[in-house]
Amino acid sequence: MALDMIGVSLSGSFPQGTPAVAEMIDNARRVERLGYDAIWSGDHIIMHNPIMDVMTVLATYAAVTERVKIGTAVYLVPLRHPVATAKQVASLDLLSQGRFIFGVGVGGEIVREFMPSTFR
């Protein structure tokens, strides 16, 4: 992987509410058309705003682009089952034809995500 990549963050978080799906897809296509190297999207279970599942968002971006890499910035591994995560990562890498970059982290900036009682 080149160290001089330039990417764009197209988050699955929407402070204004439900996103316009057509706009999300147009943005991914625009990023590729403008010559950027990657599209990045973050991960959270709970956030201050509504947020979609990062793997689903990136699968959508992979389906509507051909060259640009797609990646998690970052995926919160402590919040997910490792076997299910491995299957998602392998599937997304295959479906994107090797364009997926799996960035991982432990999170912690939103404490409620780590407290099961907040989901009740």
In a domain, 21, yes or no: yes
HEC assignment per residue over the chain:
CCCCCCEEECCCECCCCCCCHHHHHHHHHHHHHCCCCEEEECCCCCCCCCECCHHHHHHHHHHHCCCCEEEECCEEHHHCCHHHHHHHHHHHHHHCCCCEECCEECCCCCHHHHCHHHHC
Number of structural domains found in the chain: 1
**Predicted local distance difference test score (pLDDT) of residue 114:** 79
pLDDT tens column, 41-96: 999 888 877 888 999 999 999 999 999 999 999 999 999 999 999 999 999 999 99
Report residue 87: phi and psi, to 5°.
Answer: -65, -45
Between 11 and 90, the more confident residue is: 90
Rounded Cα distance between 114 and 65, Å, is 34
Residue span of the structural domain in which 24 resides: 7-119
Q: Is residue 1 part of a domain?
A: no
| 40 part of a folded domain | yes
Residue 114 lies in a domain: yes
Mean pLDDT of the chain: 89
Minimum mean pLDDT range among 11-15, 24-28, 99-103: 11-15
